Amino acid sequence: MSEKAGVVEGWVSNVKTVGKITFIEVIDDLSISPVTVVVKRDSVDAETWSKASSMKIGSAVRVEGVFPDIIVSRKGRELQAKAITVLSEPIELPPIDLTGKTPASFDLYVDFRYLALRLPRFRAVFIARAKLVEFTREFFAKNGFLEVHTPKLVGAGAEGGATLFTVDYFGQKAYLSQSPQLYKQMLMCGVPRVFEITPYFRAEKFSTPRHLNESWGLDVEMGFIEDEEDVMKVLEEFIGASINYLRMEVGDMLKTVGLSLIDPPSSIPRITYSEIIDILNSIGYNIQWGEDLDTQAEKSLGEYLSAKGTPIYFITKYPWDAKPFYIMREGDNLSKSFDLDIKGIEVASGGQREHRYHELVQNLKAKGLSLEEFSFYIKAFMYGMPPHGGFGLGLDRLLMTFLGLSNIREVVLFPRDRFRLIP
């Protein structure tokens, strides 16, 4: 074997000089472990040795050299330097320790995410995020779904609620989109299956570990269904396949930084809302039928079911009064709806939609919503709208639960909540 010439470009994460050898650890490319650059005083010119021995942590460098046949570094990759170019040096001491030896506060890691990405754990999380999005697109495209892009400046909210960010649209009131819900349903009039990877905007004063005011999600809609079970089957397959894909692509990398993926489910049980109320009341709650489940009740439910070997589960047959106007009724009080929860955290919500024009109009009236405001949407139901259903899924929450993390801000590069508008 012969040594191979190569170039390493990246950021210096550690420097150590022992006698006539300087070891420089460089975070390069998308690796989570550094390349150890070995600079031998007797093998380089005086200028290169001077650069190496005085190197500042945090510098951006380009190193030319050879990859040796026999590697001494315990980090696994090594380059014996021939020439070093310092492209940029830090002007001041970084606010977080770029060697990773001294931990910083949660907020500092968020405020200086662009620096934190040089540390293995943060790199691993966002590589996993990219892989999840990559797989999501591949999965739905292969299953015959058309990728679409719907407006983010809209004239009406999908939920008809007050949690909308208002913007001035040339003198007319407009909103940042809460969801592609209305548009993806309208598309069912011309395309049988669609999906969108999209931002959501919610103008609520969230202060929880699971909420953000700007988040990213997956929206799916499919026509010509029998009922909501057809939708749940697609979602169930996606969940299992995405966990397996991440295991294959980044499982070892995640283990290296102390993270592990949730086990893929062999199947996801369907538990009715009524059964959930019975479970919660049996463990000390006093919830009346029809009430929403608060965060603590959801958490307790997740702990109870996880202890029984069911960390991922569907909650089905919610009261219609608790669901949006576009969800189809089932009988007088129930709806053809579901949520998907993972360990007590809702990650997706969906169901069969009301595709019949007159019934949809009655739903809007029953919810006290303006027919005029939603006229553009209702019109699509006049031209042969098939039975359809779908779901919206929070990709941020999904990754958070897959990795067992406790705060959604850990999987979002630059979180937007009530206290954060910069960076």
202 known member of a binding site: yes
Q: How far apart are CA 189 and CA 388, in angstroms?
A: 10
Query: Two tokens at 166?
Result: 């208002």
Rounded to whole angstroms, the Cα distance separating 164 from 160 reads 9
What SS3 string covers the chain? CCCEEEEEEEEEEEEEEECCEEEEEEEECCCCCCEEEEEEHHHCCHHHHHHHHCCCCCCEEEEEEEECCCCCCCCCCEEEEEEEEEEECCCCCCCCCCCCCCCCCHHHHHHCHHHHCCCHHHHHHHHHHHHHHHHHHHHHHHCCCEECCCCCEECCCCCCCCCCCEEEECCEEEEECCCCHHHHHHHCCCCCEEEEEEEEECCCCCCCCCCCCEEEEEEEEEECCCCHHHHHHHHHHHHHHHHHHHHHHHHHHHHHCCCCCCCCCCCCCEEEHHHHHHHHHHCCCCCCCCCCCCHHHHHHHHHHHHHCCCCEEEEECCEHHHCCCCECEECCCEECEEEEEECCEEEEEEEEECCCHHHHHHHHHHCCCCCCCCHHHHHHHHCCCCCEEEEEEEHHHHHHHHHCCCCHHHHCCCCEECCECCC
Tell whether residue 204 is among the known ligand binding residues: yes
Determine whether the annotation assigns residue 334 to a binding site.
no
210 is in an annotated binding site: yes
- 115 annotated as ligand-binding: no
Q: Is 58 annotated as a binding residue?
A: no
41 in a labelled binding site: no
Residue with tokens 């009524």: 274
Q: Is 372 annotated as belonging to a binding site?
A: no
**396 annotated as a binding-site residue:** yes
Q: Is 65 flagged in the annotation as binding?
A: no
394 is in an annotated binding site: yes
SS3 for 289-305 is CCCCCCHHHHHHHHHHH
Q: Which residues are annotated as a binding site?
A: 159, 202-204, 210-212, 346, 349, 353, 394-397
Q: Which residues are annotated as a binding site for L-aspartate?
A: 159, 202, 349, 353
Q: Which residues are annotated as a binding site for Mg(2+)?
A: 346, 349
